[in-house]
Structure 1
Amino acid sequence: MRPAGQGARVTMGIAFLIAAMACFAVLDTSVKYVGAFVSILVAVWFRYVFQAVAVTTVMLPLRGRDLFRTSHPRFQLLRGLLLLTVSVLSFVSLQFMPVGEFTAFVMTTPLVVTLFAALFLKEKVSPLRWTLVSGGFLGALLVVQPGGATIDWASLLPLLMVLIYAWFQILTSQMARTEDPMTLHFYTGWVGALVSTAALPLFWQTMPDVKTLALLSLVGLMGTVGHFLLILAYARAPASTLTPYLYAQIGFAMFCGWLVFDHVPGGLELTGVALIVVCGLSASRLTARENQRLLTPPEG
């Protein structure tokens, strides 16, 4: 049985995670809305500059020089570039996909991580897990429906995004063994901010009006707060406990899509979303059981 204090800590971790999912849903909805007025790359710039300045302002007085210490500066650069690429692809994809369906598609990332682990890390994958991966990809096809109303090249963007995001997740899991989470957050923000700032003259249009500026600031705020809440969540509860609650983002995203864009998913899209959720939850539960078996000492 879990101690009372530990139970409260885990509950707080779950609450932080659900709040983070709500932030990310608001972020995606804001990006889709503001994309009608400004270049998507301007929104990307706001998102990263806001994060970089906020993290530095809050954490530098607390951590001092320790915030800059990293054992793998090249991997920090690579990780930042990967997430920046994911952000660009996701922001563009949102202009062609409803927010809820886009979010469901992103939730196939853990299944892609399984695929990458088998192909590149030579990890053994059970037949059941392969079945879940296949089911998740079938759900993604039902969500995107390539060859239908969505133009083909736009249908490929979220797929490319998920592939790069899976690479980012694998790299993060490796770096998390030696790197401080806030240091990861710091470098990710500044890599994205500096690279997007260097490209800013190429895509800056005119000074946004007050409403657009407020929406762009909301994008930056929700991205920064969401990632802070994620860090707080994973500091209080194990990943196996938190993973099922990641799918709350789909519900938040569908609600925001209905509220802002009056969009209600069709039958095929809802079937695909349900398939992604079932396969993703089953895969996370399978992982938790496998980890539990590894931690349980043999009887002797």
Structure 2
Amino acid sequence: MVHINFDSKASVYEQNALVQKSASAVLLGLMAIQEEEDILDLGCGSGRTTREIALLTKGLVVGTDISDSMIDEAIRKNEGRPNVRYLVKDAECLGFSDTFDVIYCNSAFQWFSHPEKVLEHCFTALKAGGRIGIQAPATSIYCPNFVTAVEKVRTHPATKKIFGFFKNPWMFLESEDEYRNLFEKCGFEVVTCTIIEESNRYTIDQVYGIYQSGAENGYLNQSFYSVPLTDAYIETFRSLIKHSFNEQADESGMVALKFNRIYLVAKKPKYHDSGTSAVDRHILLT
């Protein structure tokens, strides 16, 4: 059986992650990174945005991801940038203290099953007055196109039985207030918090590639099923998804792909200080 997860997609992730790329540009603009700041790219994937961040600052840039293969790919593509480090780390166990001016988290927050624990580690990792920015799909209707396509799988005679054992791995909140309250509960001061519906037109093949770059790593990941997946199930699942995208296309073969996205920036209060940043920074640089 094919094993589907981010490890298996590392080598092709960047060519398919079109919506993640466009959203990352918006988040980077909101973060307004300064040239001496130390940055943590949380859930960095194969490091495309990490490399962009490294051009904006002379400070230390650290990319972390839970996927070994993604970090291997990021290291391979780093091209000798001296201020960049990549580490395999679970976001719930970061282990940094007062190390970073900025934490940047693009298209990863929805995968954190214990977001409060992640934010506690992020709060500790930031210097006093530091800021965190996230961008992620939001609400249970995070992408109407994908939700419509997966509904075919849920009801189709060939897939509905096994799909009934699927456990949703994502953390979606339904409103700006819920996201704001989550961050404030963890000690942050929220600067901006907005859910935006974004819509862009793509070819059917592009939409399928975008789906495979993210959502498929949940929907066809054995870790999120309590029964074994079969090759036949995976093949039929993919066929039904493709068929739905074809149905959603207009006469010119283009699909209006929509996402509900949360953009949130928050700060760690300036009065908070635990004072060990120099230690972590020295270790990362050596």
TM-score by length of 1: 0.27
Structure with greater proportional helix content: 1
Higher relative contact order (CA 8 A, sep 6+): 1
Structure with greater proportional strand content: 2
